[in-house]
Amino acid sequence: MTSEVVENEFEFYSKAEKYWKEVPATVDGMLGGYSHISSIDINSSRKFLQRFLRDGPNRTGTTRALDCGAGIGRITKRLLLPLFKTVDMVDVTQDFLTKAKSYLGEEGRRVRNYFCCGLQDFSPEPNSYDVIWIQWVIGHLTDNHLSDFLKRCRAGLRPNGIVVIKDNMAQEGVIMDDVDSSVCRDLDVVRKIIRRAGLHLLAEERQENFPDEIYHVYTFAMR
């Protein structure tokens, strides 16, 4: 539980904001020096996502996606814009969103909104998104704020829409990272928060071919 490792909620959020303001607005900055894993990450995410976009009665639409914790738009550029008509981006760091406008190039014209906001304070527009993609950012939310945010995401989905979380998973319990002011939860804790938000888990997958020294990364799809 984050309540056991986060002593001061205000400090937890403000320290993270300050940390990201110092991070270079580059792919390497977004990935903490691991820019070489970007293609492996994107290719796996695309395969995972496409199983929901295939033909069928419950097929997820491709009209609009939301990239949460979007940074400069690495995922928007390489995963979401090729698959969706329009994308919205939300990130707490204005400099990243400003950089995104040049980083995304011509295709960036299909980004409708750049929201500068922490996810604890962000509400997706109801009934608006086919896919809400949340990657490497849930550690910056307390358990309560994550659960509440996921509830708002659920309300933000269009029919047959899905919420996707892709993130680091601890082996056991909840681990605090004082450097970037984030937490890493184990699988059971994340699953409990998902259930608490009233979401049903559709798929869960461990990322393969990442460096051994980093946390295991899992992807969850839910609605």
pTM of this structure: 0.97
- pLDDT at residue 55, as a whole number: 76
In angstroms, the Cα distances linking 34 to 150, 173, 213 are: 28, 25, 11
Residue 98 is assigned to a ligand binding site: no
Pick 2-222's CATH classification: 3.40.50.150, 3.30.70.1350, 3.40.30.10, 3.40.50.300.
Answer: 3.40.50.150
Residue 54 is assigned to a ligand binding site: no
Domain regions of the chain by residue span: 2-222
On the 0-12 / 13-18 / 19+ scale of CB atoms within 10 A, 124 is buried
- pLDDT at residue 4, as a whole number: 85
- CA proximity to 66, closest of 158, 144, 193, 167: 158
Residue 91 is assigned to a ligand binding site: yes
Residue 74 is assigned to a ligand binding site: yes
- pLDDT at residue 100, as a whole number: 98
Residue 135 is assigned to a ligand binding site: yes
- pLDDT at residue 37, as a whole number: 96
C-alpha–C-alpha distance, residues 66 and 129, integer Å: 7
Q: Which residues of 61-76 are buried (b: 16+ CB within 10 A; e: fewer)?
A: beebbbbbbbbbbbbb
- CA proximity to 146, closest of 63, 58, 220, 211: 220
Residue 121 is assigned to a ligand binding site: no
Q: What is the DSSP string of 80-128?
A: ITTT-SEEEEEES-HHHHHHHHHHTGGGGGGEEEEEE--GGG--PPTT-
Mean pLDDT of each 10-residue bin along the chain, 223 residues long? 88 97 96 96 98 90 98 98 98 98 97 98 98 98 98 98 98 96 98 98 97 96 97
- CA proximity to 161, closest of 153, 152, 173: 153
